[in-house]
Each structure stands twice: as C-alpha cells, then as structure tokens.
C-alpha cells in the first residue's frame, strides 16, 4: 500500500477507534456506577430493584432499574451494542493496517523469533480466537460456583498470553496483542453473551413467559468483567509509546502489575463516584502504589526520569476523559431518544427505556426540578475535573519539563 494512503487510513481508523471506544467504555462506566448508586425506596413499582436521581446538563433524571423486566415493554427499546461492535471492528482494522500489512517492521522481531509475515499473522489471529474460547470456557465453568477462582484464572490467562506473545512477537507487537486479546474478550462478551441474553429475556416477555433470571445475572457478570478489564486494556493501547515497557525482557510481569493496578483503580473510581466513604475504599490505594513501585524498580536504569509519571498521567487522562466524554455522549443520545406521552408525571419532558448488562432501565427527564428531591443526587463533575488535572500534569511532565527539546 502507498505509504501516504496508509498513513491517512491509519489516522482515520485510529480516530474512529477512539470515538467508538469512548462511547462504549464511557457508557459502561456510567451504568456500572449507576447500578452501585441505586437506592431501594418505598413506593417503587413492582420489579424495580432501585432508583437513582441524576443531574446533568441542566436536567434532572429519575432512573429506575428492573432486574428482569416490566410486564409490558415499549417498542422503542434502546440497546447498547453498536459502540462495542464498532470499537472492535475499527481496532481490528487498525491492527491490520499497522501490524499485518507491515508485519516485518512492526510485528516480527527476528531476535525474538524468526517468522514469515504469513505465520506471524496466522499466530496472531488464531491466538485471539483461542483466547476468547478459553475465557468463555472458564466463565461457564466457574462463574456461579466460584467467582473468586474465576477472577484468578482470567488474570492467569492474561499473564500466560502476555508471556507467550513476548516470546513470539516484537515488544510493541506483544503488548498491543495483549490489548487486542482483552478487547476482543470484552467485545465478544457483548456480542456473544450480553445482547443475546437480553434478547432472550425480551422475547420471553413478549410471549408472556417469565424470563430465566440467570440470563440477566450472566449478562450483568460479563458486563462487570468488562469494566474491570477496561483500565488494563487502555494501558496496553498506550504502552507502545513507552519502550521501558515494550522492550523490557520481562514485559509480561509488567502487564500483570498493570492489570492489578488497573483493577484496583477501577474499584476505587467507581466506588468513589457512588459516594462510598474513603475508609471503605482506601485499601485499593496501597495496592496501586505497590504495583507501580515494583514496575518502577523493574524498569530502573539510572537517573530518575519522568517516563513513569508520563505513563501514569497519560493513562489517567485517557480514563478520566473517556468517563467524562463518554457520559456526555450518553446523555446527548438519551435526550434525543426521549418519548412524550400522556401518562408521564407533571414536569417530565419525556422518558426512555434502555437495556444494558442484563437489566432494564426506565429514565424520565424533568426539565425543572420536581417538588421533592432526594439528598443523594448524582452529580457528574469529577470526570471533567480529573480530565483537566491529568491533562495539565501531562503537559507539565511532557512539555514544560522538556521545553528546550520538545
């Protein structure tokens, strides 16, 4: 392919991958935080597990979640699926343009393993499929009987994949493949489990039958897995900017440390967002600090430099930005999806019905505040604040501290 065309194709796919990923992951972050924020109050309709009140963009939103589904569903259900599909499609196309079409330069390192482009691509594709099959088999075997063991085995699966990739591909190729494998697991969770289960639940309701509650529980669990995998996969995607990670002889151990730190950070951020006191979530902070301290010690080469600060701030900026912009995407799309009918309470501009992660959500938007509001309103602000703070810190580390060279 002509290099000029390849560069523009790379840019277009990278941009599309970023936009789709923000919409998908940001929405997932939103719904996980929402589920933890639900409160059980008196007077809720039958089947509602809890409700939340939110403030965003000048409107007040009342959200009620049904664990199975209400007795009657509207025709215009909102499904969250295309964000995941487009993220995977653009990501895989980017893998083709960046790594498959120029495998000799980016994917293959003869010092690691002498491969032909065809064999390297075949190993890449086969390993991605095998990774999903292994993960799905583990989930089906241990999801109900031993969730803790399942989490440990999924972590081990990622470590084994990282080690295997580092013994086959170039440093950059190995780390990006860990990201592709985890991203494929997440997208396949949506395509192969979450959406099919939701459709089975909906179909059962339309037939007048009681849906199997395990379908919703399984979808919720896979959605939860996706949120824990999100921060590590984002780290893998930016790792190619950091030779201290990609060129390390034990990069697979660094991957494990990033997964641990990312999972702990995910727990802290979500629980903080829903208002948990610091005393209940502070245990995650030493885990994050220890993981990065070990990673820093492993990559120490002499004088102190800002590489790990650069990595941490960049990772934090990406995560916060996705949370902020993804939530904004969600509310803009929601506002366009609202429907007005005569049975709505006074002051409600419209309502929408959504399906996500094994649950059904009824959302009503008040243009002005209702006469009575709970004290535990959900405000969307820290995502924006943290995006700016991490972005400015990254500017300092990357540009201000190296103003004479960059």
Domain boundaries, the chain: 3-400
Residue 358's pLDDT is 67
Who's near 384: CB < 8 A, 6+ residues apart? 324
Residue 277's pLDDT is 87
- Look at the pTM and tell me if it is higher than 0.85: yes
Round to whole Å and give the CA distance between 87 and 25. 9
Round to whole Å and give the CA distance between 23 and 87. 9
Interval 135-155 mean pLDDT:
92
Q: Which residue has the higher pLDDT, 28 or 392?
A: 392
pLDDT-derived band at 223 (thresholds 50, 70, 90) equals confident
Round to whole Å and give the CA distance between 196 and 179. 25
Round to whole Å and give the CA distance between 188 and 185. 5
Interval 161-171 mean pLDDT:
96
Round to whole Å and give the CA distance between 7 and 165. 26
pLDDT-derived band at 401 (thresholds 50, 70, 90) equals confident
Q: Which residue has the higher pLDDT, 222 or 156?
A: 156
Residue 153's pLDDT is 96
Residue 24 has pLDDT above 80, yes or no: yes
Q: What percentage of the chain carries pLDDT values higher than 90?
A: 61
Inter-residue contact 197 to 216 (CB < 8 Å): yes
pLDDT-derived band at 108 (thresholds 50, 70, 90) equals very high
pLDDT-derived band at 51 (thresholds 50, 70, 90) equals very high
CB neighbourhood size of 279 (10 A)? 7
Residue 143's pLDDT is 84
Residue 66's pLDDT is 84
Who's near 86: CB < 8 A, 6+ residues apart? 16, 20, 24
Residue 406 has pLDDT above 80, yes or no: no
DSSP state of 116: -
> Tens digits of per-residue pLDDT, 326-340?
999 999 999 999 998
Q: Which residue has the higher pLDDT, 293 or 207?
A: 293
pLDDT-derived band at 68 (thresholds 50, 70, 90) equals low
* Nearest alpha-carbon partner for 362 in 72, 63, 74, 32: 63
**Residue entry with tokens 């396949």:** 188
Average pLDDT of the chain, as a whole number? 90
Residue 208 has pLDDT above 80, yes or no: no
Round to whole Å and give the CA distance between 228 and 214. 21
């Amino acid at each position: 392919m002509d290099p000029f065309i390849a560069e523009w194709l790379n840019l277009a796919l990278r941009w599309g991958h970023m936009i789709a990923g923000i919409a998908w992951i940001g929405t997932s972050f939103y719904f996980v935080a929402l589920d933890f924020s639900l409160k059980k109050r008196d007077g809720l309709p039958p089947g509602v597990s809890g409700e939340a009140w939110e403030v965003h963009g000048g409107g007040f939103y009342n959200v009620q979640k049904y664990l199975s589904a209400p007795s009657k569903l509207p025709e215009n259900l909102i499904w969250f699926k295309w964000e995941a599909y487009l993220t995977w499609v653009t990501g895989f196309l980017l893998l083709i343009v960046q790594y498959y079409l120029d495998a000799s330069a980016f994917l293959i390192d003869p010092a690691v393993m002498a491969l032909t482009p065809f064999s390297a691509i075949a190993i890449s594709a086969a390993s991605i499929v095998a990774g999903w099959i292994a993960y799905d088999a583990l989930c089906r075997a241990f999801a109900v009987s031993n969730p803790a063991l399942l989490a440990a085995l999924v972590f081990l699966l990622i470590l084994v994949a990282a080690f295997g990739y580092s013994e086959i591909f170039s440093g950059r190729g190995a780390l990006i493949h860990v990201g592709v494998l985890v991203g494929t697991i997440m997208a396949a969770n949506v395509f192969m489990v979450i959406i099919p289960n939701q459709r089975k639940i909906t179909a059962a309701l339309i037939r007048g039958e009681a849906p199997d509650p395990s379908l919703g529980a399984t979808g919720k669990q896979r959605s939860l897995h996706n949120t824990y995998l999100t921060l590590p996969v984002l780290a893998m995607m930016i790792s190619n900017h950091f030779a201290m990670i990609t060129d390390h002889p034990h990069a697979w151990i660094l991957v494990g440390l990033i997964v641990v730190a990312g999972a702990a950070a995910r727990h802290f951020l979500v629980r903080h967002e829903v208002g948990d006191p610091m005393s209940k979530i502070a245990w995650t902070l030493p885990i994050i600090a220890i993981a990065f301290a070990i990673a820093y010690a492993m990559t120490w080469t002499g004088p102190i430099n800002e590489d790990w600060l650069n990595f941490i701030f960049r990772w934090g900026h990406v995560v916060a930005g996705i949370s902020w912009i993804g939530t904004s995407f969600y509310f803009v799309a929601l506002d366009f999806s609202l429907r007005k009918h005569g049975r709505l309470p006074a002051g409600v501009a419209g309502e929408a019905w959504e399906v996500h992660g094994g649950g059904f959500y009824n959302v009503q938007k008040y243009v002005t505040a209702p006469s009575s509001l709970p004290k535990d309103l959900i405000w969307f602000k820290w995502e924006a604040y943290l995006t700016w703070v991490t972005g400015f810190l990254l500017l300092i580390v990357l540009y201000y501290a190296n103003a004479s060279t960059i």
